[in-house]
Amino acid sequence: MKLWRLRRANGEPATATPPTVSRAAPKQVLRPVSPVFIWATLAGGLALDLLPWGRTPLVPDFLALALVFWNIHQPRRVGMGASFLFGLLIDVHDGALFGEHALAYTLLSYGAIALHRRILWFPVLSQSLYVLPLLLVAQLVSAAVRLWVGGASADWWVGLIQSGIGALLWPVVTWVLFAPQRRPISRDETRPL
Amino acid sequence: MEYGPPPLFNQGVSARARLAFFSFLATLLIVIDARVNALDTIRVGVGVMLYPLQRALLWPRDAIVRASRYAATVASLTNENEQLRRDSVERAALLLKDEELKAENERLRRLQSVRERANVKTQLVQVLYEPRDRFSHKLVIDRGSSDGVRAGNPVVDDRGVVGQVTRVFPFVSEVTVLTERDQSIPAQIVRNGLRCVAFGGAEAGTLELRFLAANADVASGDVVVTSGLDGLYPPGIPVGTVARVERDVKDQFARVIVTPAGNINANGMLVVMQLTAPPLPPPPREDAATERPARRSPRR
């Protein structure tokens, strides 16, 4: 952390993601992320959420996971505005209150952006411990809004399990969404790095 | 953020300001949507935009269903075919009788100069998907306002009422099933014609007849049908059967639990009904406001 503050004070332009070298893969410099890939994966998360899951329990919120990932790794490209708009899409699809998921995803995004410098210092498995409360907060906000408006549900706790499964999927999500940035630049086997 | 950027590098609006802005906007939307229902145009716009994607994503499931159906054995298909043929013959007899009864009913009504019953237009629809929302039980069907579906239309299956269209998009509509807490259906008990209102029950998947006096003549096993008093539901459609009646001395009302007749977890074909001529008289005109100035003006 101190190192970064120092470099900024020296006048280096602040990059989008401070630690291009993450603890999880300490000896690798990541390639720059492609904006097309970011938005394609967010659309993919949305598509997975739009699949006709019905009342199948234990299906995590893929879009929320993708949003958390990009908010942590690219907070200057994917912010709360994107989360808000994706939330509105989910609201319309689910026939929920207009703005319910928008509020939940906005708070999720804020949490992720506020924590992103801290989270990146941990290995991936510990990162899921930070992701779990973020997902939980999103679910609880959604539930609180419904209770406030006068809804009731017997199986609201399913949301908590879904968050748990989402957090368990975090290493997988990280691996998949980081894959294009971890590609070697050239296929040279004798590279020093 | 614990430390802000140096002023040299402008990072835009701070995260907290953004959080405040977007959460305020979302809360505003929620309040407007919950209390005023004024956002339906925006919702319909977003829905139309989302529609191609939704339809495309139903394809994998439909493909799996089709494939599994293709793999069905000949024996099971023959069985099903036979069953269906038997059903259709059985129903043919009922239908013939129905025609006769309808004609007779019409004659009698004309004799008594009673208003004729409203015609019912029906539309076969397919359930597209069940939204993931855990706080309300809805079904999304493949017909919308462009096919003439209107909010308020009852939705039935071959056994009874399933629910009511509550929100209409151009190409799809949302059906709220009748066991939802906010749904209510004017009903009556077939055995004695006792009128009542069926609400979504406290237990999931049940209905409740509220406001029936503690000594009301209801017993478990009674069949409940729509009464048609609201002008939305055609009369006589099965709603459910009374599962149990709890009479408590302390309470003024009996607690009547009804199991729905329609299959609320349906995933196939449903029928949307529409009364072509609502039998209700037109609502009273609100001309109190327009009358008052008219009365005053001659005095001046």
Give a yes or no: residue B229 inside a domain.
yes
- Are B175 and B272 contained in the same domain? yes
Same domain as B65, residue B208: no
Residue B149 in any domain: the answer is yes
Domain assignment present for B272: yes
The pLDDT tens digits for A71-130 are 999 988 898 999 999 999 999 998 888 899 999 999 999 999 999 989 989 999 999 999
| Minimum CA–CA partner of A157 in chain B | B134
Domain match, B274 and B125 both: yes
Residues on chain A touching B54 (C-beta within 8 angstroms): 50, 93
Please indicate, yes or no, if residue B52 is contained in any of the structural domains.
yes
Helical axes B15-35 vs A124-149, angle rounded to 10°: 30
| Residues of chain A neighbouring B132 (CB-CB closer than 8 A) | 49, 53-55, 59, 94
Contact B47 A92 (CB under 8 A): yes
Q: What's the confidence (pLDDT) of residue A2?
A: 44
| B130 and B252 housed in the same domain | yes
H helical segments located in chain A: 2-9, 35-50, 62-73, 80-94, 100-119, 124-149, 158-168, 170-182
* B31 and B146 co-located in one domain: no
Report which of residues A16 and A70 the model is more confident about: A70
User: Closest to B18 (Cβ–Cβ): which among A80, A87, A151?
Assistant: A80
Domain extent at residue B43: 15-69
What ranges do the domains of chain A cover? 34-182
**Closest chain A residue by Cα to residue B3:** A5
The three-class DSSP label of residue A171 is helix
**d(CA B11, nearest CA chain A) in Å:** 8
Q: State whether A80 and B9 contact (CB < 8 Å).
A: no
Residue in A47, A95, A107 nearest the CB of B131? A95
Ranges of residues in chain B with a pLDDT under 70 are 1-11, 114-118, 266, 277-283, 286-300
Please check whether residue B103 lies inside any domain of the structure. no
Beta carbons within 8 Å of B210's beta carbon, 6+ residues apart: B196, B197, B199, B253
pTM value > 0.90: no
Do B65 and B151 lie in one domain? The reply is no
Containing B291, the helix (H) or strand (E) segment is helix B288-296
Residue entry with tokens 């716009």: B45
Q: Are residues B125 and B64 in the same domain?
A: no
pLDDT tens-digit series, residues A138-181: 889 988 888 888 776 667 788 888 899 999 999 999 999 988 88
Measure Cα distances from A55 to A105, A150, B166, B289 in Å. 21, 21, 20, 50
Query: Is B98 part of any domain?
Result: no
B288 touching chain A per CB within 8 A = no
Average pLDDT over residues A36-64: 90
For residues B144 and B236, membership in a common domain is answered with yes
Q: How many domains does chain B have?
A: 2
Residue B111 lies in a domain: no
Same domain, B61 and B133: no
Residue B87 lies in a domain: no
Residue of B nearest to A16 (CA): B11
Integer Cα distance of A159 and A139 in angstroms:
6
Domain boundary, last residue among B7, B40, B69? B69
Cβ contacts below 8 Å, chain A against chain B, sum to 131
